[in-house]
Structure 1
Amino acid sequence: MTMRRSAIIGTGSVLPKTRLSNDELAQNYHIDTSDAWIVERTGIRFRHIADSDETTGTLATEAARRALKNANVAPEEVGLIIVATTTPDYTLPATAMSVQADLGVGDCIAFDVQAVCSGFLYALSVADSMLRTDSAKVALVIGAETFTRLLNWEDRTTCVLFGDGAGAVVLRQTDDVEKGIQTVKLHADGRYKDLLCSDGGVSTTGTVGKLLMKGREVFRHAVTNLVSVTEEALTASGFSASQVDWVVPHQANARILSATAQKLGVPSEQVVMTVDRHANTAAASVPLALDAAVQDGRIKSGDLVVLEAMGGGFTWGAAVIRF
Structure 2
Amino acid sequence: MYLVRVSGYIPDAVVPNAHFSQLNGMTEEWILERTGIEERRKAQAHENTNSMAVEAVRKGLVDLPFDPAEIGLIVGGTYTPYDTIHTLAHAAQHFLNISDIPVLSVSSACSSFANTLEVVQGYFAMGKAEKALVVLSDNNTRYSDERDKIGGHLWGDGATALFVSKTRVTPNDLEIIDILTGGAGNVGKAPEGVFLRPAHEGFVMQYGKDVFLNACQYMAKVTQDILARNGYTTKQLSYFVPHQANLRITKNVARTLELPDEKALSNIQYLGNTGCAGCAIALYEHWERFQTNDLIAVTVFGGGYSYGSVLMRKV
Q: TM range, normalised to the smaller chain? A: over 0.9
Equivalent of 1:51 in 41, 44, 50: 44
> How does 1:1-323 map onto structure 2 within 5 Å?
6-27=1-22, 30-69=23-62, 71-174=64-167, 180-191=175-186, 192-198=190-196, 200-201=197-198, 206-207=199-200, 209-294=202-287, 297-323=288-314
Could you report, residue by residue, the CA deviation over 1:31-80 in whole angstroms, capped at 9, with x for unpaired residues?
Answer: 22122111111111111111111111111111122223354333212111
Contact 1:120 1:284 in 2 (8 A): yes
Matched residues in 2 for 1:302 and 1:106: separation?
37
Contact 1:251 1:273 in 2 (8 A): yes
Matched residues in 2 for 1:213 and 1:65: separation?
38
For 1:195, the aligned partner's letter is: G
What is the identity percentage for the equivalent residue pairs of Structure 1 and Structure 2? 29
Listed as ranges, the gaps of 5+ residues in structure 2 are none
Secondary structure (helix, strand or coil) at the match of 1:302 reads coil
Matched residues in 1 for 2:14 and 2:34: separation?
20
TM-align CA RMSD:
1.8
Matched residues in 2 for 1:17 and 1:234: separation?
37
Matched residues in 2 for 1:107 and 1:130: separation?
15
Secondary structure (helix, strand or coil) at the match of 2:21 reads helix
For 1:305, the aligned partner's letter is: I
Could you report, residue by residue, the CA deviation over 1:130-159 in whole angstroms, capped at 9, with x for unpaired residues?
Answer: 123321111111220001112122212201
Q: CA deviation at 1:95?
A: 2.0
Matched residues in 2 for 1:105 and 1:142: separation?
15
Contact 2:193 2:205 in 1 (8 A): yes
Q: 1:81 to 1:40 in 2, by over 3 A?
A: same
Listed as ranges, the gaps of 5+ residues in structure 1 are 1-5
Q: Which has the higher helix share?
A: 1
Contact 1:10 1:70 in 2 (8 A): no
Q: CA deviation at 1:207?
A: 4.9
Contact 2:238 2:296 in 1 (8 A): yes
Matched residues in 1 for 2:89 and 2:111: separation?
17
For 1:268, the aligned partner's letter is: D
Contact 1:128 1:181 in 2 (8 A): no
Q: TM-score, normalised by structure 1?
A: 0.90
For 1:303, the aligned partner's letter is: D
For 2:117, the aligned partner's letter is: L
For 1:197, the aligned partner's letter is: F
Which portions of structure 1, spanning 4 or more consecutive aligned residues, are displaced by more than 6 angstroms?
none
Count, aligned residues: 308
Q: CA deviation at 1:188?
A: 0.7
For 1:183, the aligned partner's letter is: D
Secondary structure (helix, strand or coil) at the match of 2:202 reads coil
